[in-house]
A and B are shown apart, each in its own frame.
Chain A
Amino acid sequence: MREVAIVGIGYTKIGELWERSLRDLFVEASLRALEDAGIDDVDALYVGNMMSGTLQEQEHLGALLAGYIGHPGIAAAKIEAACASGGVSLHQAYMAVASGLYDVVLAGGVEKMTDRLTPDVTFSLAMADDMEYTIYSGVTFVGLNALVYRLYMHKYGVKQEDIANFAVLMHENAVNTPHARFRRRVKLEDVLRSPLIADPIHLLECAPISDGAAVLVLTTLERAKKLTDTPIVIRASAVATDYLSIYERDDMLSLRATVLASRKAYKQAKLEPKDINVLEVHDAFTILGILALEDLGFAERGRGAVLVKEGEIAPDGRVPTNTMGGLKARGHPVGATGIYQAIDAILQLRGDAGKNQVPNAENALLQSTGGVGGTVAIHILSRAD
């Protein structure tokens, strides 16, 4: 296996981007990534996307977008693993370069969510779970997370305000993030007073429906060193799955796929949680942020919220987490999110994170989650020097 590095990043601002289409967004992010890398020879393209089939009535994104980025003829495909589509797209691109089959591969992601009204987006998001037996009941994707949230509070005796606090910190981090969806602070009482979507989850505990596209340029570490002074090495790339629906699992309060994929990744990278300086977790809902801290090995079971309360996950804390605002405030354009996580971590590792810069950031861990943990992709990125 060859060592693989990231040499270019490109992304759009995240938001309600009414004037631009799915292909406009993806082309913008791709061209910026190639400019950042300083190359234009591409062997393959992977496009992380979950819902183009239902929201745009458009599939076959690989060939469509290969042409629009100026490379008709290359190997290309859409990668779909619900909200983990971006993370799995990166995993595919990593394998393609590591194996020796391709030398330059784009790992991208895009989601254009505002082309539909909310009930349709809600219905499409629910497709991350079992449509025949679970969604048939009328449960929504938010509802599935709410079931976990209520059980968590019941079992561990944790107060909602301590979990909801995660959202407050995400908004704080996003204030200094130019590409974030919500660059404004919220107070805990704002979060707890916002409308209930699926009890106990309030609106301001949910990642917002957003548009966005993000792209990474991957090549061999050998070539990367000739292209840039700041290559970022992919030290680990791992994917794991779990039963799709939570009620099929023995333990509904731990995402087993996170545990499996992260243990594989720590082993690949020869690193432990204490070596991680920057953490990107999939906080589609506040409770998922808390569970991630536990499943990744940063907190004991039932103690994730304590890390938040004690300021440990702030940019100047022991485990800086989602330093650009996470899914909650940077935004969650579903299929692109796993790639945005990589980009936010790379800005830290390159020393380009501005006011939220973590001093001497060397190793970053990314958790990209599909559904309620049906798929989890974990990557560990490091500075090459």
Chain B
Amino acid sequence: MCMSVPRYWRERAYRYRLVGTECLSCGRRYYPPRRVCPVCHSRNLVEVKLPERGVVVTYTIIRSPPRGYEKYAPYAIAVVELLDGTKVLAQLTDIDLSEVEIGMEVEAVFRKIREDGEEGIIEYGVKFRPRLTGH
């Protein structure tokens, strides 16, 4: 069963560009975006572009992948803490799996996530790669 195109399309800004929300009352940031702040209960939240650099807080190597991701396995998944303190979860890319470690600096890149079967669309999103030196 393929996903309908609108289901994918309506999330594109958040998935492609790392857009979250920020609570204007208490300053907390959220990814994925939320309409209500669970900490101070304010509804005064606005969309915010999150930083594209961060560090690996923890990671795993997926060796038994779910349906649709078989051809990419094994691959690394990490929780990344961005420079503003917001945490996100994403695949790591452009890296030798034996070199992944807690504390490594990474940066966001736009990549293909998977294909939704033979008839569905090609899905994209953010992955993280080791931070390139000198920029």
User: Which residues does A use to contact B, with CB under 8 Å?
Assistant: 118-120, 122-123, 126, 130, 132-140, 142-143, 146-148, 150-151, 154, 195-201, 243, 245-248, 252
Which of B31, B60, B69 neighbours the largest number of chain A CB atoms within 10 Å of its CB? B60
* Contact between B60 and A247, CB atoms less than 8 A apart: no
* Contact between A140 and B64, CB atoms less than 8 A apart: yes
How many Å lie between the Cα of A200 and that of B61 in the bound state? 8
Residues from chain A with a CB closer than 8 A to the CB of B90 are 137
* Contact between B61 and A120, CB atoms less than 8 A apart: no
Residues from chain A with a CB closer than 8 A to the CB of B17 are none
How many Å lie between the Cα of A140 and that of B66 in the bound state? 6
Chain A to chain B: the 5 pairs with minimum beta-carbon distance, closest first: A146-B60, A151-B58, A247-B87, A123-B66, A199-B61
CB of B84 closer than 8 Å to a CB of A = no
Which of A126, A133, A197 neighbours the largest number of chain B CB atoms within 10 Å of its CB? A133
* Contact between A130 and B58, CB atoms less than 8 A apart: no
Least distance between A251 CB and chain B CB atoms (Å): 12
* Contact between B65 and A150, CB atoms less than 8 A apart: no
With both beta carbons as reference points, the residue of chain A lying nearest to B11 in the complex is identified as: A132
How many Å lie between the Cα of A134 and that of B31 in the bound state? 10
Given known A137-B90, A154-B102, A247-B87, contact A195–B63 (CB-CB < 8 A) = yes
Residues from chain B with a CB closer than 8 A to the CB of A147 are 58-60, 77-79, 89
Least distance between B63 CB and chain A CB atoms (Å): 6
Question: B113: which of A122, A136, A143, A154 is its contact (CB, 8 Å)?
Answer: A136
Which of A119, A142, A148 neighbours the largest number of chain B CB atoms within 10 Å of its CB? A119
* Contact between B65 and A119, CB atoms less than 8 A apart: yes
Q: Can you list, as one digit per residue, whether each of B18-55 has a CB less than 8 Å from chain A (1) or not (0)?
A: 00000000000011100000100000000000000000
With both beta carbons as reference points, the residue of chain B lying nearest to A253 in the complex is identified as: B58
* Contact between A137 and B91, CB atoms less than 8 A apart: yes
Given known A137-B125, A138-B77, A139-B89, contact A122–B61 (CB-CB < 8 A) = no
* Contact between B63 and A199, CB atoms less than 8 A apart: yes
* Contact between A246 and B62, CB atoms less than 8 A apart: no
Residues from chain A with a CB closer than 8 A to the CB of B77 are 137-139, 143, 147
Residues from chain B with a CB closer than 8 A to the CB of A199 are 60-61, 63
Least distance between B70 CB and chain A CB atoms (Å): 7
- Supplied contacts A136-B113, A140-B66, A147-B89, 8 more A-B pairs, CB within 8 Å: A123-B67, A133-B32, A137-B113, A137-B125, A138-B62, A140-B65, A147-B78, A150-B60
Between A and B, 17 residue pairs with Cβ closer than 8 Å are A119-B66, A119-B67, A122-B67, A123-B66, A134-B89, A135-B66, A137-B125, A138-B66, A147-B78, A151-B57, A198-B64, A199-B60, A247-B88, A247-B89, A248-B87, A252-B58, A252-B79
CB of B16 closer than 8 Å to a CB of A = no
With both beta carbons as reference points, the residue of chain A lying nearest to B75 in the complex is identified as: A138
* Contact between A198 and B61, CB atoms less than 8 A apart: yes
* Contact between B113 and A138, CB atoms less than 8 A apart: yes
* Contact between A140 and B79, CB atoms less than 8 A apart: no
CB of B129 closer than 8 Å to a CB of A = no
* Contact between A119 and B88, CB atoms less than 8 A apart: no
With both beta carbons as reference points, the residue of chain B lying nearest to A141 in the complex is identified as: B66
How many Å lie between the Cα of A123 and that of B63 in the bound state? 14
Given known A133-B32, A138-B113, contact A143–B88 (CB-CB < 8 A) = no
Given known A132-B11, A138-B72, A139-B77, contact A198–B62 (CB-CB < 8 A) = yes
Least distance between B109 CB and chain A CB atoms (Å): 13
* Contact between A143 and B62, CB atoms less than 8 A apart: yes
Residues from chain A with a CB closer than 8 A to the CB of B69 are 138
Residues from chain A with a CB closer than 8 A to the CB of B32 are 130, 132-133
